[in-house]
Chain A
Amino acid sequence: MPKLPGLVKGLGVTMGTLVRTVKDGANTVQYPHAKESPPVRARGVIALREDNCTACMLCARSCPDWCIYIEAHKQLAPPRRAGGKPRQVNHLDRFDIDYALCMYCGICVEVCPFDALFWSPEYEYSEPRIADLLHDKTKLGEWMETVPEAPDLEAGAEKKK
């Protein structure tokens, strides 16, 4: 077959896309009516599992934007074993992420040694007031519901202890 000139080929590409869009529908989604489901590991919003947080401050210190605010106080918790000494734990008073500053780099999630921070693909949390983008620990805790299950490990991968 002789080679088609590029100009004709170009017209063919656009017309082909038109026919495909008419036949199979567009690649886009009519947003408010239909929602695109982002990929499982999409960086939508950061969720907090409060029980796991020890207020170690690693996330706050590693945040390039300084958008994580943590305040905690020490208190005594009941001993693990019967007859033991009461433990001293950090109790979280405040854990805020300011999404007006956050740049979604995910370093906080990476650096957290206790699995307290998770990525959620949820993306609808815009606010008319910029101050409302500061999510406190209750709100960050609510995002936990939207965090997807961790994907299965690859076959042969070493299980984390």
Chain B
Amino acid sequence: MIQQFAVEIPYWGQSLLRVVGGLVAVLLPAGTIVYLFLFKMMSFMQSRLGPMEAGPFGSMQLFAEVGKWLQKEDIIPENADARIYKIAPIIVLVSTFLLVVVIPFGPDAWFTNFSAGVFYALAIGSVSVIGILVAGWSSANKYSLLGGLRAAGQLIAYELPMVLAVVGVVIQAGSMNLQDIVMAQNTGEIFGWSGIGFPFVLTQFVGFLIFMIAVQAELTQAPFDMPIAESELVSGYMTEYSGFRFLMFFIGEFATAGVFALIASVLFLGGWGIPFSWFGWESIDQVDNWMNIAGPLIMFTKMMVLTGIIMWVRFSYPRFREDQLQRFAWKALIPLSLANIAVTAIVKVVV
């Protein structure tokens, strides 16, 4: 449907659009999340106002912080494995950028329409583990090493329930393509009533819960922040980083929160779509062009709601102990998600 545009965009133009779109899709949510949730919501939940000086209500604070980080010296510890130490934050940030590539934002507003989208997203999502482990190891610091190892153990443990939770959705949608999953939810109907489509959160609520818990752990947000436990490990694998490389970790953390929330909204909340029955659309080809503008906004709203929940939980709960954290993943979440798959598969076959 690209042809519907009045002007034909040349290939380089499309590529440029995608690069800019990717930057916006990663950095805009990250900035909004940091300001709205990390600066303001957390402060309000602690009965304080947060940053108020930079710009109206401190809205320029993030730019001030970025400016501060850019000025700082890029310190590399003497015993660190310098080259790997420098690469590590890039690996983390790049995995975030690669993750956003498969997410559809509208009928035509996607970066790649990839038929194994979910599979790719989950695979790329775990690449950041390598960056974190490598960061912890190459810092030549015992806190970093402990943090890196904890992060690796935790991310691998929570990768599993996440994948298994998604399997339920994939079974129900009958596709791994994220665009098809969005279609399946918006064209679906509940016992013949198609008023709200059929968001998978209704049938896959257990899967949704497991997915959100796993996302929380993947992002190493409290209560799963054992890897960066600041009271015992200073800052875990980020301890030695300063200046721009720390900034990359920081952006990576919150951008990944945004991207995972986008994936969760695609998988469970109907993604960019609105129930197609409202406008009498039958398939993706009939969707009006304005959805390419409205879709990203809908996605953004859903993402803000989900990250809001992630951050709310983060600011409310105390930290899990390492053994509790592992036990919770292996003994509670994984069996539960396996049961969820079994039930979904049986119901799918029966119905």
Interface residues of A (CB under 8 A from B): 7, 10-11, 13-15, 17-18, 20-22, 26-28, 30
Which of B46-54, B70-78, B246-254, B330-338 lies on the face that meets chain A? B46-54
Chain B 130-157, CB-CB to A under 8 Å as 1, else 0, gives 0000000000000000000000000000
Q: Inside 8 A of B43's CB, which chain A residues have their CB?
A: 21, 26
17 intermolecular pairs with C-beta atoms under 8 Å apart: A10-B317, A11-B313, A11-B316, A14-B312, A14-B315, A14-B316, A15-B45, A15-B312, A17-B45, A17-B47, A18-B45, A21-B48, A26-B47, A26-B49, A27-B47, A28-B47, A30-B52
- Which residues on the A side are within 8 Å of B328 (C-beta)? none
Closest to B45 in A: A14
Q: Which B38-89 residues have C-beta < 8 A from chain A?
A: 41, 43-49, 52
Residues on the A chain within 8 Å of B312, using CB: 11, 14-15
Q: 18 other contacts beyond A10-B316, A26-B44, A28-B47, with CB at 8 A cut-off?
A: A7-B317, A11-B312, A11-B316, A14-B45, A14-B315, A14-B316, A15-B45, A15-B312, A18-B41, A21-B45, A21-B48, A26-B43, A26-B47, A27-B47, A28-B48, A28-B49, A30-B49, A30-B52
9 closest A-B pairs by beta carbon, nearest first, are: A14-B45, A21-B44, A28-B48, A27-B47, A18-B44, A14-B316, A18-B45, A10-B316, A26-B48
Contacts of A15 in B (CB 8 A): 45, 312
Minimal Cβ-Cβ distance residue in B for A30: B52
Alpha-carbon separation in the docked complex, A21 to B43 (Å): 9
Query: How far, in whole Å, are A139 and B59 apart by their CA atoms in the complex?
Result: 42
For residue B52, give the distance in angstroms from its CB to the closest CB of chain A.
Answer: 6
B46 surroundings in chain A (CB, below 8 A): 17
Residues of A within 8 A of B44 (CB): 17-18, 21-22, 26
Whole-angstrom distance from the CB of A15 to the nearest CB of chain B?
A: 7
**Which of B41, B47, B315 has the most chain A CB within a 10 Å cutoff?**
B47
Number of interface residues of B (CB under 8 A): 14
**Alpha-carbon separation in the docked complex, A22 to B321 (Å):** 33
Contacting residues, chain B, for A11 (C-beta < 8 A): 312-313, 316
The residue on A at minimum CB distance from B314 is A14
A residues in contact with B48, CB < 8 Å: 21, 26-28
Q: How far is the CA of A76 from the CA of B172 in the complex (A)?
A: 103
Report how far A13 CA is from B316 CA in the complex, Å. Answer: 8
* Contact assessment for A21 and B316 in the assembled complex, using a CB-CB cutoff below 8 Å: no
Kindly state the separation between the CA atoms of A9 and B47 in the bound complex, as whole angstroms. 18
* Residues of chain B lying within 8 A (CB to CB) of residue A14: 45, 312, 315-316
Q: How far is the CB of B100 from chain A (nearest CB, A)?
A: 29
Q: How far is the CA of A63 from the CA of B317 in the complex (A)?
A: 46
- The residue of chain A having its C-beta at the shortest distance from the C-beta of B318 within the complex is A10
Contact: A20 with B47, CB < 8 Å?
yes
Q: How long is the Cα–Cα vector from A7 to B317 in the complex, in angstroms?
A: 8
Chain A residues closer than 8 Å to B315, beta-carbon distance: 14
- A10: chain B residues at CB < 8 Å are 316-317
Query: How far does the alpha carbon of A11 sit from the alpha carbon of B313 in the complex, in Å?
Result: 7
Chain A residues within an 8 Å CB radius of B313: 11
Residue ID in chain A nearest B309 by CB atoms? A11
The interface centre, meaning the residue of A7, A18, A30 with most chain B CB atoms within 10 A of its CB, is A18
Give CA–CA (A28, B48) in the complex, Å.
5
B266 to chain A, nearest CB (A): 25
Most buried by B among A15, A17, A21: A21
CB A36 to nearest CB in B, in angstroms, measures: 13
> Which A residues are in CB contact (< 8 Å) with B317?
7, 10
Bound CA–CA A14/B222 (angstroms): 14
Instruction: Please indicate the chain A residues that have their CB under 8 angstroms from the CB of B49 in the complex.
Output: 21, 26, 28, 30
- Bound CA span A15–B308, Å: 11
| Least CB distance, A70 to chain B, in whole angstroms | 44
**CB closest chain-A residue, reference B48:** A28
B50 to chain A, nearest CB (A): 9
A128 to B48, CA, bound (A): 29
Task: Give residues of chain B (281-317) contacting chain A, Cβ–Cβ below 8 Å.
Answer: 312-313, 315-317
For the complex formed, measure the closest distance between the CB of A9 and the CB atoms of chain B, giving whole angstroms: 10
For A13, A14, A15, A26, the residue with the greatest tally of chain B CB atoms inside 10 Å of its CB is A14
Q: How far is the CA of A20 from the CA of B317 in the complex (A)?
A: 19
**In the complex, A7→B46 CA distance in Å?**
18
